[in-house]
């Protein structure tokens, strides 16, 4: 990790510019700074970077699980809509059947009693 000389944000070594402020990554300045730091500073910085990375990973995992939950909700909602549509279709079919049977019964009654 390299610390931005402008805003102090930690960036990946390969990045050509700072993620936060867009300043050009100054590899030489960053290395010089590291050599002027003492070991405790360096370790503190590494621990801070590690904590920041863990927090980023945790946030990404939370985003992923939220996306999965949203996807599952959408799937269940689509399923529910399908079931409602099928139920409505079945109701319609049943109504047609009942009307048809009633007409047949009426015709049978008319034939029998007339």
Query: Applying CB under 5 A, which residues contact Zn ion?
Result: 4, 6-7, 9, 18, 20-21, 23
Closer residue to Zn ion in complex, CB, 56/65:
56
Closer residue to Zn ion in complex, CB, 2/4:
4
Which residues lie closer than 8 Å to 46 by C-beta, 6 or more apart? 1
Smallest gap from Cβ 85 to Zn ion, in A, equals 55
Smallest gap from Cβ 35 to Zn ion, in A, equals 20
Closer residue to Zn ion in complex, CB, 9/37:
9
Distance CA 31, CA 27 (A): 6
Smallest gap from Cβ 87 to Zn ion, in A, equals 59
Nearest residue to 22 via CA among 6, 43, 1, 38: 6
Q: Which two tokens stand for residue 64?
A: 């992923």
Tally of residues, the chain: 114
Closer residue to Zn ion in complex, CB, 1/23:
23
* Owner of token pair 């992923």: 64
């Amino acid at each position: 990790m390299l610390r931005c000389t402008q805003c102090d944000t930690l960036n990946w070594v390969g990045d050509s510019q700072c993620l936060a402020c867009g300043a050009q990554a100054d590899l030489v300045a960053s290395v010089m700074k590291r050599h002027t730091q003492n070991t405790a500073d360096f370790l503190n910085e590494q621990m801070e970077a590690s904590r920041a990375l863990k927090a980023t990973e945790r946030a990404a995992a939370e985003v992923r699980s939220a996306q999965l939950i949203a996807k599952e909700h959408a799937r269940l909602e689509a399923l529910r809509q399908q079931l409602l549509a099928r139920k409505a279709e079945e109701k319609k079919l049943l109504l047609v059947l009942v009307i048809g049977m009633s007409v047949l019964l009426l015709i049978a009654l008319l034939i029998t009693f007339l």
